[in-house]
A and B are shown apart, each in its own frame.
Chain A
């Protein structure tokens, strides 16, 4: 089985694939102070809790935006799972073409999202796709109907912006991020909930609409796919998001890994 690891700035999402089927997922904090042994042990414990053994895992692939963790994860897989961890990067074989100023500088997470979204939603209907990944940053990627990566956009993410506001504003407390009963807030908590839910839905929609005008001015309209930790909250309020795929990044890692599997 394949262990796919998506290391984000806040969390890492880990998925276990039996062929093309995602059979288990876990989320672990991306803790820069944790060692290879701690990560290795964590992987073994997580697998065992779902009744798998380390020996079940025969391959592992990584997409990471936190470079200092990569070597530790490689060591964790070698020592505790007895396998090599393949570090994917944006120069891997992935899409028919990648249009970016310096392809090596494109985040691997962004490329694998683009691959999964295009292969699942774009290629079958011959349509362009836009992916919105709501993580530490909100990242949007554009792929045309032919599968060429065209570029994207990066905006501050929902959680970090909300946390930063609570830290910086004397009178604004931490709140539960949930959908308020109306847009107009009649108290501070409801006003913040409204601003977060409708504001970030609007941020995504505003970016999607502007990107769609640039990449597909004459149609067919792009398919819009959302993923990431906060997608569930915002996608239902968004007017442009058509599909939510919580594990799109893992799916992209699996697909890119298969195109680049070591002999």
Chain B
């Protein structure tokens, strides 16, 4: 089986694939201070809890937007799983043409998402990834990564507001019944949910406007932790696909091995 690991700024997403089927997935906090042994024990415990044994993991593929965590994971997988992970980066075949000023600047996490989204939905499309940042990845009809837009993510922004505004309380993020609010908690729920929905609608509308005919038939797919909260309030998102990152890792792994899974 293949273990796919996507290291985000906030969380590590892990998925186990048997062929193309995602059998189990986990998410753990990204902690830059955690050692290889700590990550190793944590992963073994998670796998065992779901009835998997470490020797069932024949291959590992990793993409990271937190570069310092990669060597730690690399050593950990060799020590605890006896597998040398495939790390998505320079030299790894992804099948995506990157139209960016400096293609090396595009994070491997972006490419992974682009690979999965194009394979599953076709182009042209926009993926809206609600993570630490809200990232809009634009993929052409031909499957090229043509650029993106990045805004501060929902959780990060909301945390900053709690920390810096003396009088505002911590709130639970749920959708309120009306936009107009007559108390602080409701006002913040409304501002966050409908505000970020408005952000998505507007950025997508402007991207489509700018792209003209290249945006004909463009699909908009959401992914990331906060997608469930905001996507239903937007008028542009057609589907939520929570595992684009893991699917993309699986596809890239297949493209880099002769027979797919070894």
Contacts and interface: CB of A to CB of B under 8 A. Distances in A.
B92 interface: no
A190 to B, nearest CB: 8
Interface string B146-164: 1111111100111111001
B71 to A, nearest CB: 14
B167 A67 contact: yes
Interface residues of B, number: 64
B258 interface: no
Contacts of A153: 179-181, 187, 190-191, 194-195
A110 to B, nearest CB: 9
A146 to B, nearest CB: 16
Interface stretch (B14-22, B73-81, B199-207): B199-207
B150 A202 contact: no
Contact of B180 (A191, A199, A201, A214): A214
B168 A137 contact: yes
A154 B168 contact: yes
Contacts of A9: 164-166
Contacts of B181: 151-154
A66 B166 contact: yes
A140 B206 CA distance: 23
A247 B102 CA distance: 42
Contacts of A200: 151, 199
A162 B152 contact: yes
Interface in A174-207: 182-188, 191-192, 194-196, 198-207
Contacts, number: 211
Contacts of B180: 142, 150-153, 211, 214-215
A195 B149 CA distance: 5
A37 B222 CA distance: 53
B36 interface: no
A51 interface: no
Interface stretch (B46-54, B114-122, B130-138, B243-251): B130-138
Interface in B2-21: 9-10
27 contacts: A9-B164, A152-B181, A153-B191, A154-B161, A154-B184, A154-B187, A155-B195, A156-B192, A164-B160, A170-B9, A170-B65, A184-B138, A184-B146, A184-B210, A191-B149, A191-B150, A192-B150, A194-B149, A194-B150, A195-B151, A203-B202, A205-B198, A206-B195, A206-B197, A206-B199, A206-B202, A207-B198
Interface of B: 9-10, 65-68, 99-102, 105, 107, 132-134, 136, 138, 146-153, 156-161, 164-168, 178-184, 187-188, 190-192, 194-203, 205-207, 209-211
